[in-house]
Amino acid sequence: MLGLMQDYPLLTHTILDHAALNHGEREQVTRSVEGPIRSTTLAQIRTRALKVAKALAGEGVSLGDRIATMAWNTDRHLETWFGIMGNGAICHTLNPRLFADQLDYIVNHAEDDIMFVDLTFVPLVEALQNRFGTVRKYIVLTDSEHMPETSLPGAVAYEDWIAAVDDDFAWGDFDENTAAALCYTSGTTGNPKGVLYSHRSNVLHGLTVNQPDVFGLTSEDVIMAIVPMFHANAWALTYAAPAAGAKLVMPGAGMDGKSIYELLENEKVTATAAVPTVWLGLLQYLDETGKKLPYLQKVVIGGAACPPMMIRRFELDFDVEVIHGWGMTEMSPVGTTGKLKHATLNLDREARLKLKEKQGRTPYLVEMKIVGDDGKELPRDGKVFGHLLVRGPAVSKSYFKLDQDILTADGWFDTGDIATIDSLGFMQITDRDKDVIKSGGEWISSIEIENEAVGCPGVAEAAVIGLPHPKWSERPLLLVIREVGSDIDKEAVLVYLDGKIAKWWMPDDVVFVDEIPHTATGKIQKMTLREQFKDFEFGD
C-alpha cells in the first residue's frame, strides 16, 4: 500500500522560491570581479534567475542541454546556476584551474552548448575557443561598461543579455530525478569523469549539510562560501544558505588573506568554509596585522587533511570552532564532518583537539563502512584501516556517458580512500588506496607521516611515497621542502619523527626537493613523484 501524501518533486528552484517568499529581503553580498562589493537580495536573485531561465529558453536551450559556467562565487554565478537548472538544462561548472587539455576534454565530452564566463577567464577561454567545438555562444558575466573586446563567438555582456527579457517565466516542470548539474573530477588518473547530479540529490544534499552538527545555518547566520562553486558545488552551501534564509557572502576572485579578512569583518560573517590553503593565507594575514576574528563562530575545513596546527590556531588563538570535513565530487560532496558530540563532552582539551584531526562522522543520509581487500566489513575500533565505502541519495552510481555501474555488488561506492572508523563513528582518512605504502604485508599511512613531518621546525612541506623494496615490497621515502633560510638535514628530520610514528613507519630515506607537484585542486601528485623517483635506491 502506498502512502497518501502529495507528489512534490524535489527541484532545486523550489529552494529559491521558498527563499524569495520567506526571506526575500535577506541580503546577499559579493566581491564583484570588477572590484566593488555588490549587494543584492534573495528576492532579486530569484527574479534574475528566472530571467536567465527565460533567456536560455529564447536561445533554444531546453531539458538536458549542458550549459557551462567558468566563474568565481558571485551573485551572477548564483543566478546563472539556478536559472540553468530551473530551465531544465544542466549546469556544468568548469574548474578554471584545470590544465588546457583537461578543459578541452571536459567541454567536448559534456558537449557544452553555451558558456557563461567571468571576466578573469576570458583570455583563457579565448585561447581555447577553437578547441571548444560545441560551444556556440559565450555570455560574459559583466555589464556593457566592463565588457572587453573579445573574439569569442556570440559574445554578449550578461547584464545586456538578461535585460532583453522579463521574469515572466514558469520554472520547468519535470521529474525530480532529472539531471541538474555536472561536475568533472580532476582525474588524477586517466581522463576526468563526469559526476551528474539530479535535482533530487542536490535538494537532499542541501538539507543534509544543513543539519545542526554539519553547517547548521539559520536565518540569522552570515555564511561566506569560499569553497568554489566550480569545485564540488561549494559544498552545497548554495542550496543550504537560501533554504535557511542565511546571508550568503561570495568572495569572487579575492581569495587572498586580506580580501577574505575584509569580508569576514565587514559583513560580520558567522560561518565559513574552505580548503586548508585558503586558511594558511588568512592566518598569515592575521599574524602580520595582529587582527582578530570577533564575529566568526565556526569554520569548516576540508577537501584535504586539515593540519593539526590549523585546528589549534583557530580554536585556541581565535576562539573559532573548527569543523573538519571530508568528501568528494562523487558525494555531492560532503561525506563527514567532525563536530564533537555529546559522548565527547568529558574529554580534556588536548583529547578534544586530537579528535578534531579526524575527518568526522556522517550526517543522516550518508552511510559509510570500511572493508578489507576481500570486501568483508572491518571493525569500528579506530585502529584497523580499510577501504572506505559509502552510499546515500547524493552519492554517484555511474559516470556521465560511461554507461557502467561503478558500485560494489551490494550497492556501495568505493571512495578510493583508506580509513579507520572509531566506536563513536569518527572516521579518519589514513591514505588514498593508491598511495598507502604496503610494507611487509602491513599498511603504512603516507598522510600520517606527512602530517608529523610538517610539524618539524624547518620543514615547509612534506610528501611521502612508497617505493619498491626487495625485502619489504615497499618502503616510505620522505620528500621535504625546506623553509626559507633553514638548513635542516636528514638526521634532524628523523630524530624529530622518532617516537611520533611507529618505528617500522620511519622513512627509509629523506630527500630535499625544491618543489612538490600539486593537482589543480591542491592535492599532492604522488603518481608524478613515484615516476620521478622510480630509479631511486634506498641506502643501507
**Grid cell of 265 as nine digits:** 569583518
326 counts as binding ligand ADP under rule CB under 6 A: yes
- C-alpha to C-alpha distances, 332 to 33, 238, 274, 365, nearest whole angstrom: 26, 12, 15, 12
Give the residue with the Cβ less far from ligand ADP, 304 or 407: 304
329 counts as binding ligand ADP under rule CB under 6 A: yes
Closest CB 188 distance from ligand ADP, rounded Å: 6
Q: Which of 142, 185, 188, 208 is catalytic?
A: 185
Query: Does 178 participate in catalysis according to the annotation?
Result: no
* C-beta neighbour count of 312 within 10 angstroms: 13
429 counts as binding ligand ADP under rule CB under 6 A: yes
Q: Which of 88, 252, 302, 363 binds ligand ADP (CB under 6 A)?
A: 302
Q: Which of 131, 146, 432, 530 binds ligand ADP (CB under 6 A)?
A: 432
Query: Does 356 participate in catalysis according to the annotation?
Result: no
Nearest to 180 by CA among 332, 46, 364, 44: 332
- Which span (209-217, 399-407, 409-417, 469-477) binds ligand ADP, by CB under 6 A? 409-417
* C-beta neighbour count of 211 within 10 angstroms: 15
Give the residue with the Cβ less far from ligand ADP, 232 or 479: 232
140 counts as binding ligand ADP under rule CB under 6 A: no
Query: Does 185 participate in catalysis according to the annotation?
Result: yes
Closest CB 30 distance from ligand ADP, rounded Å: 24
- Which span (55-63, 96-104, 289-297, 299-307) binds ligand ADP, by CB under 6 A? 299-307
Q: Which of 359, 362, 420, 430 binds ligand ADP (CB under 6 A)?
A: 359
Closest CB 429 distance from ligand ADP, rounded Å: 4
Give the residue with the Cβ less far from ligand ADP, 47 or 185: 185
Q: Do 453 and 497 touch, CB atoms closer than 8 A?
A: yes
How many residues bind to ligand ADP according to rule CB under 6 A? Answer: 23
Query: How many Å apart are CA 481 and CA 486, to the nearest integer?
Result: 10
Closest CB 326 distance from ligand ADP, rounded Å: 4
Query: How many Å apart are CA 379 and CA 421, to the nearest integer?
Result: 8
Query: How many Å apart are CA 357 and CA 314, to the nearest integer?
Result: 13
Closest CB 362 distance from ligand ADP, rounded Å: 14
Q: Do 208 and 43 touch, CB atoms closer than 8 A?
A: no
Give the residue with the Cβ less far from ligand ADP, 303 or 466: 303
Interface positions, 167-196, toward ligand ADP (CB under 6 A): 185-186, 188
* C-beta neighbour count of 246 within 10 angstroms: 26
Give the residue with the Cβ less far from ligand ADP, 55 or 449: 449
Q: Please identify which residue in the block is written with the cell numbers 568529558.
A: 346
Interface positions, 206-265, toward ligand ADP (CB under 6 A): 232
Query: How many Å apart are CA 114 and CA 65, to the nearest integer?
Result: 9
Strands 442-444 and 437-439: antiparallel
- Alpha carbon 51 to its chain centroid, in Å, reads 29
Interface positions, 492-531, toward ligand ADP (CB under 6 A): 521, 523
328 counts as binding ligand ADP under rule CB under 6 A: yes
Query: Does 438 participate in catalysis according to the annotation?
Result: yes
**Grid cell of 53 as nine digits:** 531561465
Give the residue with the Cβ less far from ligand ADP, 324 or 387: 324
Q: Which of 443, 450, 472, 474 is catalytic?
A: 443
Q: Which of 268, 397, 401, 438 is catalytic?
A: 438
Query: How many Å apart are CA 540 and CA 527, to the nearest integer?
Result: 25
Sheet holding 509-512, edge to edge: 459-469, 473-482, 509-512
Give the residue with the Cβ less far from ligand ADP, 150 or 525: 525
Closest CB 303 distance from ligand ADP, rounded Å: 5
Name the CA dihedral angle for 256, 258, 263, 268, rounded to a multiple of 10 degrees.
130
Query: How many Å apart are CA 140 and CA 196, to the nearest integer?
Result: 25
Counting every residue written for the chain, the total comes to 540
Query: How many Å apart are CA 463 and CA 480, to the nearest integer?
Result: 7
Interface residues with ligand ADP (CB under 6 A)?
A: 185-186, 188, 232, 302-306, 324-326, 328-329, 333, 359, 415-417, 429, 432, 521, 523
The residues that are catalytic are 185, 330, 438, 443
